[in-house]
Chains A and B, each alone.
Chain A
Amino acid sequence: GAVVSQHPSWVICKSGTSVKIECRSLDFQATTMFWYRQFPKQSLMLMATSNEGSKATYEQGVEKDKFLINHASLTLSTLTVTSAHPEDSSFYICSASQANTGELFFGEGSRLTVL
């Protein structure tokens, strides 16, 4: 199957700093990527849809100035958590949609801990 890679796998930062998470589709081009947040023992919550070359579409309740998404190429989308606070601590997961099949492939996830 297609491979999607996230980096970093885990990150610990101080409150007030910004953290960037990368999502790459390694063997296919993804015009659309998705960012999710997952709390312990819960399902995935879609945060935003990232389209290459255009602004991301955010789900209701997700602050676009807090969670900056950039999709500069067909293989890379980034999520930047700005001025992170402890309540932003979570497991962030990206997925990429394979253009010809519409199937979703997920990254390994990135665990953010804000102290």
Chain B
Amino acid sequence: TQLLEQSPQFLSIQEGENLTVYCNSSSVFSSLQWYRQEPGEGPVLLVTVVTGGEVKKLKRLTFQFGDARKDSSLHITAAQPGDTGLYLCAGGRGNYGQNFVFGPGTRLSVLP
């Protein structure tokens, strides 16, 4: 069984602060996705990383895939209240249409 761990589980910060969320596994994944989910809604895809060492930036969000494709990080610069939500990482277990393994999530609260 491939398991994904996320840390921290909960994070409450002030607006303007920076933060990093980690996603770790002992298994290698073909790809890794990050999602943000707000209460009562489905997860929304933020990014997909597929190459070891890959770094992608999405405005104030920076995503990195570990060299060995076992871990990933999400860094948010100058967090805003709109960043509040549940951040989920998901590791792909195969190519094309294979199901993903989800981490337990990091619940972020950004206070104004």
A interface residues, Cβ below 8 angstroms from B:
1, 4, 6, 31-32, 34, 41-44, 46, 49, 91, 93, 95, 97, 99-109, 111
Q: CB distance B42 to A93 under 8 Å? A: yes
Tell whether A104 pairs with B41 under 8 Å between CB atoms, given A41-B107, A97-B97. no
Q: Answer yes or no: B100 CB below 8 A from chain A CBs.
A: yes
B13-21, B54-62, B69-77, B88-96 - the one binding chain A = B88-96
Q: CB distance B99 to A44 under 8 Å? A: no
Q: CB distance A106 to B45 under 8 Å? A: yes
Contact with A along B85-111 (1 / 0, CB 8 A): 010101010011111101111010000
CA distance A69 to B35 in the complex (A): 25
Q: CB distance B42 to A107 under 8 Å? A: yes
Q: Which 6 A-B pairs have the closest CB atoms?
A: A106-B42, A32-B97, A97-B97, A102-B96, A109-B42, A43-B105
Contacts of A95 in B (CB 8 A): 42
Q: CB distance B45 to A103 under 8 Å? A: yes
CA distance A4 to B45 in the complex (A): 12
Q: CB distance B33 to A34 under 8 Å? A: no
Please classify how large the interface on chain B is, using the bins under 10, 10 to 19, 20 to 34, 35 or more.
Answer: 20 to 34
Contacts of B43 in A (CB 8 A): 44, 93, 106
Q: CB distance B104 to A102 under 8 Å? A: no
Additional A-B contacts beyond A49-B99, A97-B97, A103-B45 (14; CB < 8 A): A32-B97, A32-B99, A41-B107, A43-B86, A43-B103, A44-B43, A46-B102, A99-B96, A99-B97, A102-B31, A103-B33, A104-B33, A104-B100, A109-B40
Tell whether A106 pairs with B35 under 8 Å between CB atoms, given A93-B42, A97-B97, A99-B96. yes
Minimum CB–CB distance for B55 against chain A, Å? 19
Q: CB distance B97 to A108 under 8 Å? A: no
29 contacts between A and B (CB under 8 A): A1-B45, A32-B98, A43-B105, A44-B43, A44-B88, A44-B102, A46-B102, A93-B42, A95-B42, A97-B98, A101-B48, A101-B96, A102-B92, A102-B95, A102-B96, A102-B97, A103-B33, A104-B33, A104-B90, A104-B100, A105-B45, A106-B35, A106-B42, A106-B43, A106-B45, A107-B42, A108-B41, A108-B42, A109-B42
